[in-house]
Amino acid sequence: MADNKVAFELVSPERLVVSMPVDMVVVPGGEGDFGVLPGHAPLIASVRPGVIEIYDGREVSDRIFVAGGFAEVTRERCTVLAESAVRVSEINVGDAEADLRSAESDLANAASDNDRADAERRLGVAQGKLEAVRRSSH
């Protein structure tokens, strides 16, 4: 890999979403967003629901919503294994709003800790998708 690029791969259970050299990638880490540039210190981090921003030069060239997962960073590469991934431009707002209402209802009616945890996770994903769409329209 050229010294001024990071090899970036985003993988979901269904497919390889992105595999390309990038100038920088910003990942929604479990402890906060982190940017990966060439020469980054190695790390493994959890990924929370949010948007991965891929940079070409100083401009964001692609925005992809991930529902969570893990990231591995080395000096030359950043690999994200995501629970699911969809480009922000492809998010269906009506579907995300329906998912939000369903998760809210399931959370209110949760009969067990497992049901509550599942509803909270789905609620976070739906809220994240809607926030991603709102931020991209500004």
Which residue did the predictor score with more confidence, 44 or 136?
A: 44
Confidence band, pLDDT 50/70/90 cuts, at residue 5? very high
Please tell me the pTM assigned to this model: 0.89
Contact 65, 50 (CB under 8 A): yes
Confidence band, pLDDT 50/70/90 cuts, at residue 138? low
For 70, the enclosing helix (H) or strand (E) is: strand 69-73
